[in-house]
Structures are given as structure tokens and as C-alpha cells.
Amino acid sequence: MAQTLGTSVGAFRAAFTGRVITPEDPEYDKARSVFNGAIDRHPAIIARCTTPDEVAVAVKFGTDQDLEISVRGGGHNFAGFAVCEGGLMIDLSEMRQVTVDAAARRAVAGGGATWHDVDAATQVHGLAVTGGFISRTGIGGLTLGGGIGHLTAQAGLSCDNLVSAQVVTADSRILTASANENPDLFWAIRGGGGNFGVVTSFAYRLHQVGPLVNLGLFFWGVGKGSAALRFSRDFLKTLPQNASGFIGGLSAPPAPFVPRQHHFAPGFALIVVGYGSPEEHGWAIKPIRDAVAPLFELVTPMPYVQLQQMFDEANPWGTLAYEKALYLDELTDGAIQVFTEYLPKKTSPLSLVPVFFLGDGYARVPDDETAFGGSRKARYAFNISAVCPDPALYDGERSWVRSFWQALRPHASGVGSYVNFMSEYEEDRVKAAYGTAKYERLARIKAQYDPDNVFHLNANIKPAL
């Protein structure tokens, strides 16, 4: 078998114009690494693609050789789906070009681009699309699963802003997916993950943002947690149209704006971003200090690109990581009680609990318009995330995530969760994430585009029989 594969790899090298990386190559370990350092898989071949044609050649080789195929976008999936054991890893990390048509407010980005790439190119024109909170995250996995970010309250999810995509399917065809071309595929890739093919480019609708925005970050210690969270849940609903916000359970960073005695103290933050003038922002955040006096705050204008990179350092590549999430219709007193009880029990300073307020931009998109699994009625995505640069803390921190999540479940909006905030993808959890009707529709589209389930390293939709 090894010899057979060895011979075929030679043929693949001859046919494939991109770079082929195998275990003998010096960059192999770097190329197979993903964000989550708990993942240690060894693909037989890494095909580093630079064009859709190369992706098509790689898919054909993988399917002809009956190799397991993984697709790497930004490598941030918690379960490490970007990398397979013993198979073919289709690596899009060099397909990161971004072109912007400012007049039409459109950007087209390569399937392996990160939000760092997209923000850099679009912000030159004072434009942006909803992206993730960490700039190194891939646009690929994030958009295909939904995409929650600072701009969600105004502009919806990343996938809500997708206007078309180029997709290499399991039978190596290169298709366009849009409202007019292959509309079923277009519906499925807006929330249905990487199940339907390799997306080689994403075309987004852009919005006017920045380039300067206004940050307001307020932090309370655990003692004032309950009062701060009750205030924050009401306050977030009153934010003007040109502002967004979210809540974070986290440890105070050792940053210059944090008094030394509070470094690493666990507590609760309210982060508000204003997209209008500093004066408007000042008015919007004024009630916060008056309501519950924070331990410290940071109120400052900053470039939108800097905002997008603000939490990068707290999420280092190669850290051990695990997370579980759920949706809440309301941040009820009961949910706040669980939050304040469990947050101080975390042991890794970088573990965090971001609670994203989804807002009107999210809620105004009809449920059936995209394949996105979450109910458009939910107001919060509650994410419990273990981030452990110190491996000794990993097992304990994983148990903390699980027990916190169990305690919060009675307060959640049903059993569904966001597919991009999962570390384990049992079939029943994926089904619950989409609900029966959406899952069955996705399964029928999967049967049409990938009947043999070639693309199964994802929140997997089983092809309908």
C-alpha cells in the first residue's frame, strides 16, 4: 500500500502545479499544525493549492486514491478538521488574495484568506464585512458555518453577506454558487459548513465602517459580576444602530490600561464599539459608569483593523483549546447566577466566556434564507472556551467547560448550538444544531453534490439516501 501510494504521489507531483509536502519535507510539521495544539495528526500528503484548477486536481487525486480528504482554511476549527490522519490535506493557506471593488461595495477573497487579509484590503476603502473577533481565523470555516463578529448586530452574520462563491465539488467540477447559479448549493454553503465542496473564493457585500471606530471596554471584578451582568443585558438592547457590544467573562490582561493589582483577576467585561463620532460614543456609554462603577475601563478611538486584532494575543496559535456553546433567548437571572458561579472556577488565565449579543442585523434575516443552524430569535451566543498554553491545566479546564455548559443548559433556547463553536461533533449534536427540517434539506443537497461524503471532516451532514 505504502509503495502504491508512493508511486501515486510521484504521479500527483507531476500533475499538480502547486507545492506537494510530505513527511520528509522540512516544512511538514508547520504545514500540518492547526490552532488547537491538542491536535496532532499526520496527513500522508499536503497539497498546497494556489488556484481552483489545482484544488480540482487535488480533489480528483484524493478521490481516485480513496484517500481521506481534509480541507484547511485558517486552521482554527477546535476539532482540527483541517488536518487528517494518513490522508490528503488540501491546504488553501496560499489562496489569500483579496480584491475590492469599492464602488460596488464588493470584495472577493481566496478560500484560504484570514480576516486579517480581508480587513486589511477592505479598510483601505473604509469598508468591512462581518468577520471573526480573532484576525487569524480563516474566512473559510467561519463563513461556511455562519460567522459572528463585531458587525453582526448591524450587518448580520458573515454568511448573510455572501453574494457568491466558487466551489470545487467532490467530482472536481468548478461551480459558481449564487442566487442565480446553483441556488441550492448557495443556500447550503451559508451555514452548512464545508460539506459541499472546497470553496476557492468568497464574494462579500461590504459596509461602510471606520477606518476609526470607538472602543469602550469596562471591567468588573467577580464581586460586582451579578449587578454588572444584569445591567449589561438591558443596556445592550438600548444601544443605538451605530454601536454594537458583547459581554466577556475573562481574566484582566496585564495591559498598560489595567492597574497592576488587577492583572489576571477574573471578572466580567462589557465591550461596546461605536461606529459614529466619539461624541456619540461618549453619550452611548455614559450610563455604564453611572450604573455599576467598573474596576477599570478603556475608552479610546482605534482603527477598526486594530479592534479586529485586539484579542489575537490572548488566543495564541498552538495553545490547547476546547469549547462548548449554546444560544440564549435571554440572559436571565438564572443564567447570570450560573455565569457568576462558574466563571471564577476557571484555572487558565486565557480561558474566556464571550457572550455575543446578536442584535437586529442577525434577527432580521429570515430563518429559511440560509442554512445557518441557529434560530434567528436567539439574542445571545454563549461560548465557554478553554484556552490553555499550559498543558497541565488542560484536563481540568475541559471539565470546567463541560460542567459550566451542563449547568447552563436549562437556561438555553433548546438543544441547538453553533457548529463553529463545537469541539465534538456527534451526529445528534449536528442534527440538533440545524433542526430536523434544515438538516434534511441539507442532506438532500449533500446527496446531490457529495453523495459519497468525500468532505466529511466538518459538522458532517450525511447524504440523504
Ligand X SMILES: Cc1cc2nc3c(=O)[nH]c(=O)nc-3n(C[C@H](O)[C@H](O)[C@H](O)COP(=O)(O)OP(=O)(O)OC[C@H]3O[C@@H](n4cnc5c(N)ncnc54)[C@H](O)[C@@H]3O)c2cc1C
Q: Name the residues that contact ligand X, by CB under 6 A.
A: 34-35, 70-78, 81-82, 92, 111, 132-134, 137-138, 140-142, 144-149, 193-194, 198-199, 315, 420, 457-458
Amino acid, res. 336: I
Read off the C-alpha cell for 394.
488542560
Q: Are 350 and 389 a contacting pair, CB within 8 Å?
A: yes
Q: Which is nearer to ligand X, 146 or 267 (CB)?
A: 146
Q: Which is nearer to ligand X, 218 or 372 (CB)?
A: 372
Read off the C-alpha cell for 291.
450604573
Query: Closest separation between CB of residue 92 and ligand X, Å?
Result: 5
Q: Which is nearer to ligand X, 12 or 356 (CB)?
A: 356
Provide Rg for the chain, Cα atoms: 22
Query: Closest separation between CB of residue 76 and ligand X, Å?
Result: 3
Query: Closest separation between CB of residue 267 and ligand X, Å?
Result: 21
Query: Closest separation between CB of residue 291 and ligand X, Å?
Result: 27
Q: Are 86 and 49 a contacting pair, CB within 8 Å?
A: no
Q: Which is nearer to ligand X, 28 or 296 (CB)?
A: 28
**Cα–Cα distances in angstroms (integers) from residue 181 to residues 197, 382, 455, in the given order:** 15, 35, 22
Q: Which is nearer to ligand X, 279 or 367 (CB)?
A: 367
d(CA 248, CA 225): 11
The residue count for the chain: 465
d(CA 70, CA 56): 14
Query: Closest separation between CB of residue 101 and ligand X, Å?
Result: 21
Read off the C-alpha cell for 215.
472602543
Alpha helices per DSSP H over 147-224: 152-155, 183-189
Q: Which is nearer to ligand X, 198 or 243 (CB)?
A: 198
Query: Closest separation between CB of residue 388 and ligand X, Å?
Result: 13
φ, ψ for residue 48 (rounded to 5)?
A: -90, 105
Nearest to 52 by CA among 115, 108, 131: 108
Nearest to 159 by CA among 428, 361, 330, 433: 361
d(CA 90, CA 205): 27
Beta carbons within 10 angstroms of residue 17's beta carbon: 11
Query: Closest separation between CB of residue 79 and ligand X, Å?
Result: 8
Query: Closest separation between CB of residue 10 and ligand X, Å?
Result: 26
Q: Are 145 and 158 a contacting pair, CB within 8 Å?
A: no
Q: Which is nearer to ligand X, 295 or 305 (CB)?
A: 305
Q: Which is nearer to ligand X, 89 or 206 (CB)?
A: 89
Q: Which is nearer to ligand X, 72 or 233 (CB)?
A: 72
Query: Closest separation between CB of residue 111 and ligand X, Å?
Result: 3
Sheet of 198-205, strands arranged across:
98-101, 106-110, 198-205, 162-168, 174-178
